[in-house]
Chains A and B, each alone.
Chain A
Amino acid sequence: MAFSAVLHPAFLLVVLPLKASLSEVLGEPFQLIPEILTVSIQSKLQQVNLQWTVPNLTHQELKMGFQIEISRMNASNIIWVEDYSTTVKRNQVLHWNWKSEIPLECVTHFIRIRAMVDDANYPPQNSWSNWSSWKEVSVQVSVAPNTLLIFPKSKLLEEGSNVTICLLYGQYLYNVSCMLQKEPIHGEQLDSHVSLIKLNNVVFHSHSGTNIYCQAMNATKTPFGTVLFVSKVLEEPKNFSCETQDFKTLKCSWEPGVDTALTWSQQDSQNYTLYESFSGRSELSDHRNSHNWKITEESQETYNFTLTTENNLRKRSVNIIFNLTHRVHLKAPHDVTLETVDAKKANMTWKMHSRGDNYILLCQVELQHETEVIHECNVSVHMSASYLFSDLEPDTEYKARVRCADANHFWKWSDWAQKAFSTPEAAPSQALDVWRQVRSENGSHVVTLFWKPLLKSQANGKIVSYNIVVENQDRPSEAEHYSVQAPALGTQLSLDMCSYKIHITANNSMGVSPESVMALSNDSGHASYRVNKVEAISHLKPRLTLMSLLTELQKNPGIVNPQSPAMKRYTCGQKANGVDMLRSHTLQQCYPSVLAAKEEVHEKRIKGTKDGFHISWEPLSGDALGYVVDWCAHSRDQHCDLKWKNLGPNTTSTNITSDAFKPGVRYNFRIFEKSVQQNAQLLEKQTGYTQELAPLENPKVIINNFTSNSFILSWPGYDSDFQSAFIEGYRVYLKSKEMQCHPKGKRTSLSDNSVLCEYEIKDPEQKSFTVENLQPESLYEFLVTPYTSAGQGPNETFTKVTTPDENSHMLLKIILPMTLCVLLIVIACYWKSQWVKEKCYPDIPNPYKSSILSLIKSKKNPHLIMNVKDCIPDVLEVINKVEGPKTQCIVSGKPHNEDVSIKPPSSVPTEDGSSGPVPFMFFENFTYDQSAFDSGSHGLNPGPLKDTPGQLGLLTPPDKLLNVLEKDYMKSLAESPTEETSLIYVSQLASPMCGDKDSLVTNSPKPVHCSGYKRQMAVPGRLPSLALSESNSLTSMILLGQGEQ
């Protein structure tokens, strides 16, 4: 038994290796089953890490194949099978990773592995080993009720990639909807608590991530979400190159592409690493797009660079290999100098940073003027070089620049090195373009010279002044010199009527320009005439006066008619008797030389376009030196701004263009022919508009010969320069209610039942129009408007006019003299007013002329009128009278106003009187009461003074007044008390001795010897005789005059 116990193990020890050896020999499957050690999870990476070993491995190394299966949710749902081959060492722990597309938190995975020997040194194993047992892979996540978990959290991924979002539902949560930024996203339900949302080709939204949020319909909590950090795809660096300027440093540069950095520390900007394979050096760049690589090995000529860029998701690299000498980017030239040789040449020198004189450099030289390259040249040089610029413009600023490169292995041009310089001045190279304007004034020529500024290329410097030499053709030795300082472009000279040559030059600091010559003949001022014939009158005697010259011409009518307005005669002479005859006019003593017959040049109308005018002309002579066209740029202004254009000898037309041309402005062009002698003769005058416009205003119409049947409308003409177009005529509009149009007129019925007659005057020179066949005392309206090719004038308000009555002029003839006569009479009356007053209404009425007198006379009372001269003053005292004359002419039937008091007396007058004015006191004197007088009573007035109706009313009629007076008087008599009858008012009228009874005495403002009124006193009736006798002595005061007592 003990033996067997010992033998059995020994047997096994022998048999097992034998068995193994036999298996190998016989080819039996030898199973090496892998053993899973650990299965770990990296949630953020969604990665499963598997570790296993191969137990029972007898060999030191054995190449084996492994097959790994992964199932999801349950072991039977295999989702991944992967073969993995490796050389396995004894006791080695093997690793394998798998990335899940679904976040591992959401679903449980299972993993198992099996192996197979796959080594050539051993017989092939035809079958896999058995599977290892399943290992569950899961992340324990608890989801609270009513909550939602979203995985992955803060996932980093690259734009364009795919991602699966997993939702874990808590209890009671359903109907979850999700949004990616603004867009809704939909998923698939994996089980009751898990759903998956697959996002394909995700896009970059922001460096701070892309928000995803989900919310359940019945959620009581706020939405849940996650952020995907989508990175842009890392780009490969572009245009990677390296170069050197000094063979000490290689400057490598590249275009980095987009920055893939993300916030929240998810991803920094990609980095760049340079690796040089020959030296084995690697350097991390501090910049995104360049790196300076130090050349440490001077002997190294070839470089092999690899530029690698990397972020958290990707790595990219580019490679270049080059020879250092082929990547030389020279530094810009230095010590650049420029030296002007003369006004047209300059020499440029420069130096280069080079490794030695053996190196040939290629340099590019440029000459710039006002930013424009005017010269470019390539030259081969060594370390230093020079270049000569020629054909330069004097007094011009230039900029010269140079750059170089390696001539043998051209890589890049160096930077430019530049220098500015200016050429010195030179004398002006071109003659001035000159022109003149001549006008005759007081027998002399006022010559205005104009010239155009020289171009910069012609001036060759700053023009300082202009020299003018005026040379008398007849006295060349007496030239006058003028100098005009720049920048003036013209001057004015006053010359006599002789022929001159004018030389004009421009000066700068270096010299004088070629001269411009203009000849001025004695007819130059007559621009309206063209010289047709010029004859030298050689037979005329020298030193003739103008009158004698005219006489001589009259004797030779065959030559020229001196009376013709188209003829002019010019004389020129030298100094005679020490007097400069050139400065005088008319009747000069001079030497006649030229007689010119002239023809008036008519103005021709031309039609311009918006671009300008096309002007053509007929040449006068075949040997013209050239032609000049001049015009005023501002024809409407006083300032003409003369423009001109010089043209060649064979030219017969030209286009005049100018930005200053405006529509509706008339431009007058004159064409001159320049003769060989530099004389300019007027050829033609042309006028036109670039665009004709309708007239802007109507003429101011004056009405003449205005009668009841007709009138004449007349208006002034327009100034041609202020016409907006050529006026072709006028239209006269006449409007009236009832009118017959002239047969030449055009009749139009208007809406207001009036008739409009339109008359067209086709002659623009006709400035009047007679309107005939009008009705007297009728209203007419008219409007006169000019018309041009562009239309007629503005529609202004019609002027209204009413024809007069036919007899009105007769009435005027009568009324006017009559009015004058009346006026003269009035003036005469006023002149004799005092006389009339005295005659018609004197201050003291003449009682004999009173109307009352006529009444009284009818009663034939011989004692009616008292003779004042016979009166003896009695006791009646008048203490005051009305101020101012209150007299009126006494008219029959009218009351005597002074007998009627306006107011009753307010106080009884005192005897001593008063010096001051007192109210008017009126004593009723019944003397004038005819009834009282007739009653035989001698002025008895038994009662006090009382108002009577007659005293209160001025307007009381005279008959009534008389009645009232009578009545009142009678009443007074009846009512007077008995005792008062003893008082008797004695009036002078009571005296039978009163003389002239034909005269009625009234109040008089003038002192008289015998007052009309005497003071009335109450005296006892028993002493009538006494009263009568003493009446003279009782007089205390006589009325002396107005205001006096």
Chain B
Amino acid sequence: MSQIKNQLAQLNGSAGPLFISYYTAQGEPFPNNVDKLCGPNMTDFPPFHPNGTEKTKLVELYRIVAYLSASLGNVTRDQRILNPNALSLHSKLNATVDIMRGLLSNVLCRLCNKYHVGHVDVTYGPDTSSKDVFQKKKLGCQLLGTYKQVISVVAQAF
């Protein structure tokens, strides 16, 4: 469990710089319209109830991390194409995705060992491959804005 907490703290610490790096790399108008373009108003983001039981929280955390891992993978792929020179952003995205993979494994292990939960239904974000470039930029920004907000709540809940 301490490992999960550590990973959450690590993600919570890096979420802010990742968010900033992202919207900076997209160019204007993103840095000056973060609240409009990157507001955390994703409707399909998995919910999280910090007052729930540990089991519930772990299940919700698993869903969130699974959702984020998939979405951030898409964002990473898009940014490699769109901003090939934004190496700092790429490294931050890769590091975040790597931690999430580890976290996902640890959460599942915890659920399995302690609560005998071997399977959790997860949801993923919408497919953005057909979206135009601006939409991809915006959705990525919204995702990271939401991630930054949610991860702080999740990190405190554990």
Contact = CB atoms under 8 A, between A and B. Distances in A.
Interface of A: 150, 153-154, 179, 181-182, 205-213, 215, 222-227, 263-265
B36 A223 contact: yes
B130 to A, nearest CB: 11
Interface stretch (B25-33, B48-56, B108-116): B25-33
- 6 closest A-B pairs (Cβ-Cβ)? A225-B134, A227-B133, A181-B28, A153-B132, A182-B28, A227-B134
B27 A181 contact: yes
B154 interface: no
B37 A213 contact: yes
Interface in B1-41: 25-30, 32-33, 36-37, 39, 41
Interface stretch (B57-65, B66-74, B78-86, B121-129): B78-86
Contacts of A205: 27
Contact of A179 (B29, B83, B137): B29
B36 A222 contact: yes
Nearest to A265: B81
Given A207-B85, A208-B82, A223-B36, A182 B29 contact: yes
Nearest to B31: A182
11 contacts: A179-B29, A181-B28, A205-B27, A208-B25, A210-B27, A211-B27, A211-B28, A215-B36, A223-B36, A223-B138, A263-B81
Given A153-B134, A223-B37, 15 more contacts: A150-B134, A182-B28, A182-B29, A208-B82, A209-B27, A211-B26, A211-B29, A211-B134, A212-B134, A213-B29, A213-B134, A222-B138, A225-B29, A225-B134, A263-B81
Contacts of B76: none
Contacts of A179: 28-29
B75 to A, nearest CB: 14
B82 to A, nearest CB: 5
A182 B29 CA distance: 6
A154 B134 CA distance: 8
B37 A226 contact: no
B142 interface: yes
Interface residues of B, number: 24
A1041 to B, nearest CB: 101
B82 A263 contact: yes
Nearest to B131: A153
A205 B82 CA distance: 14
Interface of B: 25-30, 32-33, 36-37, 39, 41, 81-85, 132-135, 137-138, 142
A690 B75 CA distance: 76
Contacts of B81: 263-265
Nearest to A150: B134
A210 B29 CA distance: 10
Given A153-B132, A182-B28, A222 B83 contact: no
A225 B132 CA distance: 9
Contacts of A226: 132-134
Given A153-B132, A223-B37, A211 B82 contact: no
Contact of A208 (B27, B132, B138): B27
A150 B132 CA distance: 10
A264 B133 contact: yes
B136 to A, nearest CB: 9
B36 A263 contact: no
Contacts of B132: 153-154, 226-227
A222 B135 CA distance: 10
Contact of B39 (A153, A182, A212, A222): A222
A208 B41 CA distance: 26
B95 to A, nearest CB: 22
A213 B137 CA distance: 12
A540 to B, nearest CB: 103
Contacts of B83: 208, 263
Give the interface centre of B27, B28, B134, B138 by most chain A CB atoms within 10 Å: B134
A227 B138 CA distance: 11
A208 B30 CA distance: 14
Contacts of A150: 134
B83 to A, nearest CB: 5
B26 to A, nearest CB: 7
A206 B133 contact: no
A150 to B, nearest CB: 8
B134 A264 contact: no
A210 B138 CA distance: 14
Give the interface centre of A150, A213, A226 by most chain B CB atoms within 10 Å: A213
B41 A263 contact: no
B43 to A, nearest CB: 11
Contacts of A223: 33, 36-37, 138
B30 to A, nearest CB: 7
A210 B28 CA distance: 8
A253 B25 CA distance: 36
A623 B36 CA distance: 101
A265 B132 CA distance: 13
Given A205-B27, A207-B85, A182 B32 contact: yes
A46 to B, nearest CB: 15
Contacts of B29: 179, 181-182, 211, 213, 225
B78 to A, nearest CB: 9
B23 to A, nearest CB: 11
Contacts of B138: 222-223, 225
Nearest to A229: B133
A215 B134 CA distance: 14
A182 B32 CA distance: 8
B37 A206 contact: no
Nearest to A181: B28
B131 to A, nearest CB: 9
Contacts of A222: 36-37, 39, 41, 138, 142
A179 B39 CA distance: 18
A770 to B, nearest CB: 87
Nearest to B41: A222
A208 B85 CA distance: 9
Given A208-B27, A223-B138, A227-B132, A264 B82 contact: yes
A211 B142 contact: no
B10 to A, nearest CB: 29
Contacts of A225: 29, 134-135, 138
B21 to A, nearest CB: 14
B76 to A, nearest CB: 15
Contact of B27 (A153, A154, A206): A206
B137 A227 contact: yes
Nearest to B37: A223
Nearest to B86: A208
B89 to A, nearest CB: 11
Nearest to A182: B28
B133 A154 contact: yes
A206 B26 CA distance: 10
B33 A213 contact: yes
A419 to B, nearest CB: 46
A706 to B, nearest CB: 85
A208 B27 CA distance: 9
A263 B134 contact: no
Contacts of A208: 25-27, 82-83
A209 B81 CA distance: 12
Contacts of B36: 215, 222-223
Contacts of B41: 222
A266 B132 CA distance: 12
B153 to A, nearest CB: 22
B33 to A, nearest CB: 7
Give the interface centre of A208, A209, A212 by most chain B CB atoms within 10 Å: A208
Contacts of A224: 134
Contacts of B142: 222
A223 B33 CA distance: 10
A337 B29 CA distance: 67
B152 to A, nearest CB: 22
A215 B36 CA distance: 9
Nearest to A261: B84
A215 B25 CA distance: 21
A209 B82 CA distance: 8
